[in-house]
Amino acid sequence: MRSGSPTAPQTRHSLSSVPPLAGSLAVPSFGCEFDSDMVLGAPRNTVGCWNTRQFLDWRKNQDSDWFGWVHPMDAHAPYEAPEEYQQQYLNESVPRRKSQKLASAATHHPEELSDAEWQLQQKLYNAECRYLDDQIKRLLQSLSKTEKENTIIVFTADHGEMHGEHGLGGHPQQFWEEVLHVPCAIAAPDLSSETIDRQVALVDLPPTILDAAGSQIPENWDGYSILPTDNDPFEREHVFVDVEPDLNRNHAGVRHATNWKLMRHDDNGELLLDLNTNPDENPSEEKSTDATDQYQKLTTALENHLDEMERRRQGEVTGIEDKEMIEDHLKELGYLE
């Protein structure tokens, strides 16, 4: 992808559909995501190294423009960083079996973890982040000076992790800030250093990449470029979230640019929260009966969005329909027991 001075936009997670990038850029493309069959028995804690090595081997054979996507799973539970990284945070490393049992309990039975176990889980996560940081460093250092001057680099995540907040672990299918508010940094040629404080979403990244590459953004794409312009920047009023292949109006959410947020968590009901006064999202400070105007506006916006998602699902805009493949992947990631 192509480099310059990095920016660090604050990004919120949006799960709206995003068309594939590589075909739109019409260049050789590389995609790499962890798969147990692909790693051929390699220890789980070497995935980042394996992803990086596979990408570097592929890039050696590229003699023109290219697009690369690397998706390491190391910062994803279970946290199994190599011993030398764990020992930066712990007196002694944790056996893989213990870290796996801890991750499973945190995801599926979080009420069973003690404060000490949550602290251990956090330290194991920090070790994984440190390890992954070194793998990303290897990748960036592999670029020549010329390549760095002509490469767009995007660093982000599809979700965050919870370590006991709200009594939850991993990344449950709920819409707390720990899950939605992910990092995003972009470097591109001629891009000056700037922090974007306005609300943006992951669905804005594909158009941003095309904009940085000087390519036309298809009119039917969701999202908008977040690159600085001479005109007033695009202000994303709402970010919408839902996580199920089948539309569930009781399991969705919306976040407004003014930091008001409406979450629907199925049987747990609705929460209207003002993050300006309640940044920790304490449910006891729920505002739906006090701030009826905000509640109505967000409810209307969310329902309109869900109507559009329903229209798309009924039309030709569809997602992956191989439910067996999805279930196998969810088990691999630890979502299903």
What pLDDT does 330 receive?
66
Query: How far is the C-alpha of 312 from the C-alpha of 249, rounded, in Å?
Result: 15
Query: How far is the C-alpha of 155 from the C-alpha of 11, rounded, in Å?
Result: 11
**Do the two domains 1-225 and 237-337 of this chain adopt the same fold?**
no
Q: Which fold has domain 237-337?
A: Arylsulfatase, C-terminal domain (3.30.1120)
Q: Which fold has domain 1-225?
A: Alkaline Phosphatase, subunit A (3.40.720)
Is the dihedral angle over the CA atoms 15, 19, 20, 21 positive or is it negative? negative
Domain residue ranges in the chain? 1-225, 237-337
- Asked if residue 30 has pLDDT above 50, the reply is yes
pLDDT, tens digit, for every residue of 70-102?
888 888 889 999 999 999 999 999 999 999 999
**pTM, entire model:** 0.80
What pLDDT does 320 receive?
53
What pLDDT does 306 receive?
95
Chain centre distance of CA 168: 18
